[in-house]
Structure 1
């Protein structure tokens, strides 16, 4: 293999190297990537719609990072939870799958806040931003596909009034802005 003169390799450099691979070499490379990490496996399963629920590994990651096991002293990472949604989007990014992951994120936050008091403005701000993204993703679906997502977000919105920081009011405003406010 020819080495690149650049300090940091780019996609173009890699593509040039891959151009010389035959089918068995490409399959072996993909097999190695598949075996290298669970993230690669989740990506490939989502891309090729393999398995019963391609969203499950993404949901596990989201739940782990926004609704950690406080008894095991696990930490919270909004960034890692959001990365799971971004990873799914890169893998296949089906609109309904994105809406599902975003709503699930909000529900996972609701689960944590239901049993664990929190005074973290950043966490609440991230939840409201994800709530808005979930509404936007839901609004982009066909009308007959929206109802279940709106109902789940309505439950999150209702709980939001129990948390302070203006979360419930912000969610009320967003529901109205996206045309999903209760009549």
Structure 2
């Protein structure tokens, strides 16, 4: 008869961690830091270390929603959105979320400016991200909003060229979130 072990959970890990002294805990964190670039980015963001903690997240977003088509790179909405989710887990400051979501939209615009796109899913994801941007922007102090809204304005201005009813969707979103319709 084969005994099956249950899958380990956070509770199991937490129980083990209670037995660590400070030195052992620091060694574990150091090992986690060294184990992956993702862990390093997470810790830099969590502790606000470096000149621009958003830069690695922006690099990931740009790579996946604005790939280098001359090098046959594909796009991945999921991987770009994961960068924003990872930032939210690490820190989740409202201005950082607003910056990353607006940057996602700007990166889409960059791709659409130089090569176009015929994938309805890409445009649907862009509209959903604009909505996420607006949700993040309304969470900010009034004085912080203008900068992000100005950046989104360029995306809005280009939306009439794309089809897929993106322009109409954006006007509806602006009205829904209490911003003047364009």
1:101-120 deviations in whole A, cap 9, x for unaligned? 00000000000000012110
Deviation, 1:134, is 0.1
Instruction: Deviation per CA, 1:109-168: give whole Å up to 9, x if none.
Output: 000000012110000000000000101110111000000101111111111111110111
Alignment match, 1:131: 130
Following the alignment from structure 1 to structure 2, what is the Cα–Cα distance between the partners of residues 33 and 87? Answer: 16
SS at structure 1 position matched to 2:162: coil
Question: Within 2, Cα distance between the matches of 1:121 and 1:182?
Answer: 24
**Who is 2:47 aligned against?**
48
**Matched residue of 2:161: which SS?**
coil
TM-superposed CA distance for 1:172, in Å, is 1.4
Aligned to 2:25: 26
1:182 Cα offset (Å) = 4.7
Are the equivalent residues in 2 in contact too, given 1:98–1:137 (CA < 8 A)?
yes
TM-score (norm 2): 0.95
Matching residue of 1:86:
85
Matches of 1:180 and 1:147 in 2, distance apart? 11
Aligned residues, how many? 179
CA separation in 2, counterparts of 1:109 and 1:6? 46
SS in 2 for 1:165: coil
Distance across 2 between alignment mates of 1:6 and 1:124:
45
State the TM-score, normalizing by the size of structure 1: 0.95
Can you give the 5+ residue segments of structure 1 that lack an aligned partner in the other structure?
none
- Say whether the 8 Å CA contact 2:171–2:181 is kept in structure 1: no
Aligned to 1:95: 94
Across the aligned residues of Structure 1 and Structure 2, the Cα RMSD in angstroms comes to 1.1
Structure 1 residue aligned with 2:139: 140
Tell me how far 1:6 sits from its aligned partner: 4.1
Q: Does the residue aligned with 1:68 lie in a helix, a strand or coil? A: coil
- Contact between 1:66 and 1:77, CA under 8 Å: does it hold in 2? yes
Residues 58 and 84 in structure 1, CA contact (< 8 A), matched pair in contact too = yes
